[in-house]
Amino acid sequence: MNTPLLPAHDTEAKPRRAVLLGVGNILLSDEGVGVRLVERILDRQRLPAGVAVLDGGTCAMEMLEDLEHLDLLVIADCVRSGRTPGSVVVLRDDEVPAFFRTKLSPHQVGLADVLATLRFLGRAPRCTVVVGVEPQSLATGMSLSSAVRAALPLAEEALLDALAGGGCALAALQEAA
């Protein structure tokens, strides 16, 4: 079920500018799930005009310009929330600042600083959604754990729902015959 993220009184049916941001360190197993999720979407979906995809890596202030004045920001990340490994966590708008009160992601300091700076400058995204996956392992290695790999379809669906709810429905790429 897609819940609209943009206010009902909004006169535009589609955001003018949206970003799908994958963050994470792909050298630390499940820590790279945000980047892997974005890669998965790029392999399977056609992006509509106005939607940019960014590999935020371990995210820093250099991204300020890329994230200012967005209608929709959707972030894919590894999130430590104390849930079972592979659990998918979705946070929207007002829930996102609460996400930064507890250290759930290694990128929160960078993301918190970026979002706080944008808010201070009056350039914050109108809608922000974080889709996170609870890690099983943060050990050195480029492979995702079995629990996180199993969660990829559900996390991908949550990302697609967040984009569609913001007026950015993606279309599946045609399978090669």
How would DSSP label each residue in 85-103?
TT-EEEEETTHHHHHTTS-
The whole-number pLDDT of residue 7 equals: 43
What domains appear along the chain, each with residue ranges and CATH number? 18-164 (3.40.50.1450)
- pLDDT per residue as tens digits for the range 22-71: 988 899 999 999 999 999 999 999 988 889 999 887 666 778 889 999 99
**51-57 sheet: strands from edge to edge:** 51-57, 18-23, 72-78, 127-133, 88-92
The whole-number pLDDT of residue 119 equals: 87
The whole-number pLDDT of residue 3 equals: 40
Tokens 């980047």 sit at which residue? 35
The whole-number pLDDT of residue 145 equals: 97
DSSP assignment of 65-133: HHHTT-SEEEEEEE---SS-TT-EEEEETTHHHHHTTS--STTHHHHHHHHHHHHHTT---SEEEEEEE
- pLDDT per residue as tens digits for the range 101-145: 555 555 455 777 788 888 899 999 999 999 999 999 999 999 999
Confidence bin at 16 (pLDDT 50/70/90): confident
